[in-house]
Amino acid sequence: MSSGSLRLAFAEEYLGYLASVRHLSVASVRAYRSDLAAFEQWLAERGSDAADVDAAVGRRYIAHLSRNDAAVSTVNRSLSALKGYFRYLVRTERATASPFEGVRGLRKQSHLPSFLFEDEISDLLAVNGSDFPACRDRLILELLYSTGCRISELVMINLDEIDYKRGRVRVRGKGDKERFVFLGAPARRALADYLPLRSARLARAGLRDEKGLVINAQGGRLTQRGVAGIIKKRVAEKGLAKAVSPHTFRHSFATHILDRGADIRVVQELLGHSSLSTTQVYTHLGLGALKKIYEQAHPHAGTRSQRGDAYE
In sequence order, what are the residues at sequence separation of 6 or more whose Cβ sits closer than 8 angstroms to the Cβ of residue 12? 3, 6
Indicate the residue among 48, 74, 91 that finishes a domain.
91
Q: State the amino acid at position 99 in one-letter form.
A: P
| Residues linked to residue 180 through DSSP beta bridges, in sequence order | 170
Residues 89/10, Cβ–Cβ less than 8 Å: yes
Which entry of 273, 284, 292, 298 is annotated as an active-site residue?
Answer: 273
**Taking 90 as the threshold, does the pLDDT of residue 126 lie above it?**
yes
pLDDT band at 113 (very low <50, low <70, confident <90, very high): low
Whether 250 and 271 have beta carbons less than 8 Å apart is answered as yes
Are 286 and 143 found together in one domain? yes
Cα separation, 129 vs 127, whole angstroms: 7
Q: What is the pLDDT of residue 160?
A: 95
pLDDT at 148: 93
Euclidean distance between CA atoms 150 and 23, whole angstroms: 17
Does the structure show a pLDDT above 70 at 297?
A: no
Strands 178-182 and 162-163: unpaired
Q: What percent of the chain has pLDDT over 90?
A: 44
pLDDT of residue 210: 92
Predicted confidence (pLDDT) at residue 305 exceeds the cutoff of 80: no
Contact 75, 43 (CB under 8 A): no
Range of the domain at 129: 118-301
Least confident of 56-60, 77-81, 249-253: 56-60
> How would you classify residue 167: left for phi > 0, otherwise alpha for psi between -120 and 50, otherwise beta?
left
35 and 150 housed in the same domain: no
How many other CB atoms are found less than 10 A from the CB of residue 247? Answer: 15
| Whether residue 196 sits in one domain with residue 77 | no
CATH number for the domain spanning 81: value is 1.10.150
177 and 283 part of one domain? yes
Residue 57 CB contacts under 8 Å (≥ 6 apart), including other chains: 48, 99
Question: pTM for the full model?
Answer: 0.62
Domain identity same for 80 and 128: no
* Whether residue 87 lies in the annotated active site: no
**Is the pLDDT assigned to residue 242 strictly greater than 70?**
yes
* Residue 104 falls inside a structural domain: no
Q: Which of 77, 136, 201, 250 is catalytic?
A: 250
Catalytic residue among 83, 168, 174, 304: 174
Measure the CA–CA gap between 57 and 103, rounded to whole angstroms.
10
Q: Characterize 167-196 residue by residue with b for buried, 16 or more Cβ atoms within 10 angstroms of its Cβ, and e for exposed.
A: ebbebbbeeeeebebebeebbbebbeebbe
Is the domain of 74 the same as that of 127? no
Residue 298 annotated in active site: no
SS (H, E, C) 5-54: HCCCCCHHHHHHHHHHCCCCCHHHHHHHHHHHHHHHHHHHHCCCCHHHCC
Count: domains in the chain? 2
Q: Do 142 and 204 have their domain in common?
A: yes
Q: Is 174 a catalytic residue?
A: yes
User: Of the listed 14, 17, 85, 282, which one is catalytic?
Assistant: 282
pLDDT (tens digit per residue) in 256-294: 988 888 888 888 889 988 888 777 777 665 555 555 656
Q: Which of 33, 77, 136, 150 is catalytic?
A: 150
What radius of gyration do the chain's Cα atoms show? 24
| 15 contacts: CB under 8 Å, gap ≥ 6 | 3, 29, 32, 33, 36
- Pick the catalytic residue: 59, 247, 292, 304? 247
* Together in a domain, 192 and 130: yes
Average pLDDT of the chain, as a whole number: 84
Q: Is the pLDDT of residue 303 over 50?
A: no
282 catalytic? Reply is yes
